[in-house]
């Protein structure tokens, strides 16, 4: 699961994070704002206010939660209320327009086609484009680290089953089976961890977004 949904699986459904992905040797990646290669006017978080922006998805950690949470926590945007309506009003008022295309590639594509001024995502957003389009965008600034995606299990799962699952996933890290992990999931490896170790600090970003859990669950 992505970091945001993983956190809510833990807080709302009492699920447990048991493993985190390793991608490019990292268990964290940078939330990043991207612009067209000829755009030299945007180089800080407050520069995105009033612009046309693309997030990734409603639950995207680097593509929504971290950037918008930073705008709120640093006082650039005010959320006047504690529910999903107040959060939506804050998003609407902060930008000339905004989009949630549902993926990294979708956000990058909107930027390439000139439909937005800024696309939020991870620090490798350009890799989701066709080769000939990758040079058309550039990172404007980084927003901060985001924990990598997680493997989440029900807290009702027995210890024996949990151990068997983790052991099986660890086998996919070996040379003999790593191609299976890459083919199915795209990660280099999976490492054991816990909710507290891997996600607790990210909860601060979510706390800056009142009503986010209602928005996520459609309440």
Chain segment 69-96, per-residue pLDDT in tens: 999 989 999 999 988 899 999 999 999 9
Range of the domain at 166: 14-27+149-208
Instruction: Verify that 75 and 135 share a domain, yes or no.
Output: yes
- pTM for this model (two decimals): 0.82
Are residues 69 and 101 part of one domain? Answer: yes
pLDDT at position 127: 93
Please identify which residue in the block is written with the tokens 């209320």.
81
% of the chain residues with pLDDT over 70? 98
CB contact set of 128 (below 8 Å; sequence gap of 6+): 103, 104, 105, 108, 121
Domain termination residue (choose one: 147, 173, 192): 147
DSSP letter assigned to residue 58: T
Could you tell me the pLDDT band of residue 211, with boundaries at 50, 70 and 90? confident
Question: Is 79 a member of any domain?
Answer: yes
Number of domains, the chain? 2
Is the pLDDT at 205 greater than 70, yes or no?
Answer: yes
First to last CA, the chain: 21
Same-domain status, 37 and 107:
yes
């Amino acid at each position: 699961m992505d970091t945001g949904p993983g956190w809510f699986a833990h807080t709302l459904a009492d699920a447990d994070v048991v493993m985190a992905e390793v991608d490019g040797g990292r268990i964290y990646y940078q939330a990043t704002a991207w612009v067209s290669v000829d755009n030299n006017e945007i180089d800080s978080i407050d520069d995105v206010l009033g612009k046309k922006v693309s997030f990734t998805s409603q639950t995207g950690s680097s593509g929504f939660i971290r950037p918008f949470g930073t705008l709120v926590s640093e006082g650039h945007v005010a959320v006047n209320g504690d529910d999903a309506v107040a959060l939506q009003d804050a998003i609407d008022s902060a930008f000339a327009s905004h989009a949630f295309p549902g993926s990294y590639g979708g956000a990058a594509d909107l930027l390439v086609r000139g439909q937005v001024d800024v696309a939020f995502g991870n620090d490798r957003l350009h890799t989701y484009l066709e080769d000939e389009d990758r040079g058309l965008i550039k990172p404007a600034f980084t927003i901060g680290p985001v924990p990598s995606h997680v493997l989440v299990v029900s807290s009702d799962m027995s210890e024996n089953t949990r151990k068997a699952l983790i052991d099986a996933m660890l086998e996919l890290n070996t040379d003999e089976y790593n191609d299976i992990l890459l083919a199915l999931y795209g990660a280099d490896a999976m490492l054991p961890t816990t909710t507290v170790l891997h996600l607790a600090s990210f909860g601060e970003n979510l706390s800056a977004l009142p009503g986010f859990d209602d928005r996520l669950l459609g309440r």
